[in-house]
Structure 1
Amino acid sequence: MLVVKYIGGLGNQLFQLAFVLELRERGYKVFEDITDYRYYDRHQGFEVDKVFDIQIKHVDVKNLSRLRSDYPSVINKIKSKLLGGVKLKSTHIFQNNFDFSKIENQKDYYLEGYWQNCNTYLIKDNLRSFIKFKSFSLSTKNKNVLECINSSNSVGVHIRRGDYLNKENISHFEQVGVEYYLKAKEIIQSKLKDNVQFFFFSDDIDFVKSNYDWGCNVKYIDWNVGDKSYLDMYLMANCKGLIIPNSTFSWWAGILGKDKKHVVAPKYWWQDREKDNDIYLPNKWNLVDNRLNL
């Protein structure tokens, strides 16, 4: 039996879901742990089963306490006190780029990580068939935007600011600025040719309006906030083209889109060169080198 931990926002949750689906495809019996969301006050909590047609197989408390090093059971608390802190059990594996040889068929493991590089997955080319949006009741605004998206050479443009501007993230993530988006725009326009309509999705629309003057064929979407934020992912996924930053949220919009052939993404996501291969970027995507003074 394997137990996979979920943590983070919707983009990271989807990578963890993809990992679960890959393990099942390989024949493993997998349960899921979402217990950390009882105390998680960032993003919108656990959203996967709200947004996607997915059934979560929850792990029971007994197995969670047995396999997870830091589960707050009485026995684990006593062990932690005696050992001077939480020690990883041999059953508890933390690994972002997963080595499937680490797990043996007859053993039980608790698996924790982000697993954003799914290049070796058996299901990597079919993620869209495994992960499908639920049917949503859209507001009038979103219905109108979706109609425009479906009836035009629509390009979603995701510009993430918000928490990306705090000190920790600025020092962690590679930057994508105005120059990156201009290069991405050139690439998209060369693919889609005429009558391109841009749809900007951002948590700072005022900044976008002041810094991205892309002409008259532009619409700004900024009303899907809080527990409705996932609707931005849904709308972006319906666009015929997509320009994304180094964001797992819009990465999934590119993966789950309708036969999307025109996705532009930054080539480098982190400032740490050793992490350059920690994210899977499909070969058919158009990558922009965002380390060349961008």
Structure 2
Amino acid sequence: MMIVRVSGGLGNQMFQYAFYKYLQKKGYDVLLDINDYSHIEYHNGFELERVFNIKSLYADLNQVKTLAYFKQSLFCKIYRKIFKSELRKKTEITSYSSQQDKIYNKSLYFDGIWQDPIFIAGVEKELKKAFQFSTTNVSKLCLDMKHQIINCNSVSVHVRRGDYLNNKKFGEVCNKEYYVNSMNYMKEKYNNPSFFIFSDDIEWCKENLSFVSNDIRYINFNKGKNSYLDMYLMTLCNHNIIANSTFSWWGAWLNSNTDKQVICPQRWDTTGRDLSLDSWIKM
């Protein structure tokens, strides 16, 4: 038995689910561990089932404890606070190499984010089938925006600030220059592009990006449990300018336009990680 820990917001959950499907396709008996969500608040909680109607196989807490320490236990929290690291059992693994599959023939607990296009490529068809948005309770505002998006040469622009502002690892990557250059590139390449800006800081976008184009529309009405609809709308755009965020990464990846152009940052964070696909343009 193998268990994949799920944590974080929707974008991270989708990468962890992709890794779960990747392991399943290799013939392993795999379960998802979503027990963290009963103890701590990650954005809007565990969203995969609600957003995509996905039914997965889940590990209960006893199964988790046979392979790993429960990260939200008081003991683990005290250990983390004192030693500034996670307490792990020998069966807990934080990295995976497909070239070493033969060593993965025992019960293991996978604790990581698994943000690697290699895993995605291995289960692309399965993910495209699984990640079908639930749109039964979409608001009129969202439906109106959908109509606008599919009836023009639409370009989504994702600007994430909020929790990135005080995070030096992520917050210094996608600056004003990145967005201005990316939008100007789209203007030069395509006729009359309409920019649809998705952001948790619309005021900053208006102050810093409004001069780039006379056709900018701002989306900030999908709140709380409906936040995933921003990703849904991104998938409907002709082209995408993404942030160094898994949320807009998936919005671009799920975009089914065969002629789409995706612009992404040169690097994902200050460590130099790269999550770009070959067809994407780094700006």
TM-score by length of 1: 0.85
Q: Within 5 Å, which residues of 2 pair with 1:129-278?
A: 129-166=129-166, 169-191=167-189, 193-213=190-210, 214-259=212-257, 261-273=260-272, 276-277=273-274
Give the deviation of 1:258 after TM superposition: 1.8
1:4 offset after TM fit, Å?
Answer: 0.5
Q: 2:218 & 2:56 partners in 1: Cα distance?
A: 34
**Structure 2 counterpart SS, 1:212:** helix
- For these two proteins, the number of residue pairs brought into alignment is 273
Distance 1:158 1:113, change over 3 A: same
* CA–CA separation in structure 1 for the residues paired with 2:102 and 2:221: 44
Q: Deviations over 1:116-152 (max 9, x none)?
A: 1132555255442442222332111101000011111
User: How big is each residue's C-alpha offset from its partner over 1:143-167, in whole Å with a ceiling of 9 and x where there is no partner?
Assistant: 100001111111111111111112x
Give CA deviations for 1:47-68 in whole Å, capped at 9, x if unaligned: 1111113112111333212111
1:110 counterpart = 2:105: no
CA contact (8 A) 2:11 2:250 kept: yes
Cα separation, 2, equivalents of 1:92 and 1:73: 16
RMSD of aligned Cα (Å): 2.5
Code of the residue aligned with 1:186 in structure 2: it is: N
Counterparts in 2 of 1:62 and 1:124: CA distance versus 1, 3 Å: closer
For the residues of structure 1 that align with 2:30 and 2:6, how far apart are their CA atoms? 13
Distance 1:72 1:262, change over 3 A: closer
SS at match of 2:41: coil
TM-score when scaled to structure 2?
0.88
Alpha-carbon distance in structure 2 between the residues aligned to 1:139 and 1:5: 33
Distance 2:69 2:51 in 1: 30
Structure 1 counterpart of 2:49: 49
Superposed CA offset, 1:202-260 (max 9, x none): 11111111111233311111111111111111111111111111111100000111235
Task: Give the CA deviation at 1:188.
Answer: 2.0
Identity value in percent: 36
8 Å contact from structure 1 (residues 154, 198) kept in 2:
yes
Distance 1:149-1:111 versus aligned 2 partners, 3 A rule: same
Q: What is the identity, as a one-letter code, of the residue corresponding to 2:140?
A: T
After TM superposition, give the deviation of residue 26 of structure 1 in Å.
1.1
Structure 2, unaligned stretches of length 5 or more?
none
**What residue is the counterpart of 1:119 in the other structure?**
118
Taking a change above 3 Å as real, the CA distance of residues 244 and 39 of structure 1, as seen in their structure-2 partners, is same
- Contact 2:161/2:171 (8 A) holds in 1: no
Structure-to-structure mapping, 1:86-101, within 5 angstroms: 87-95=87-95, 98-100=96-98, 101=100
Q: Is the 8 A contact 1:9 1:45 kept in 2?
A: yes
- 8 Å contact kept, 1:246–1:269: yes
SS at match of 2:118: coil
Preserved contact between residue 236 and residue 253 of structure 1 (Cα < 8 Å) = yes
1:168-188 CA distance string (max 9 Å, x none): x12455421121112211332
Q: Which has the higher helix share?
A: 2
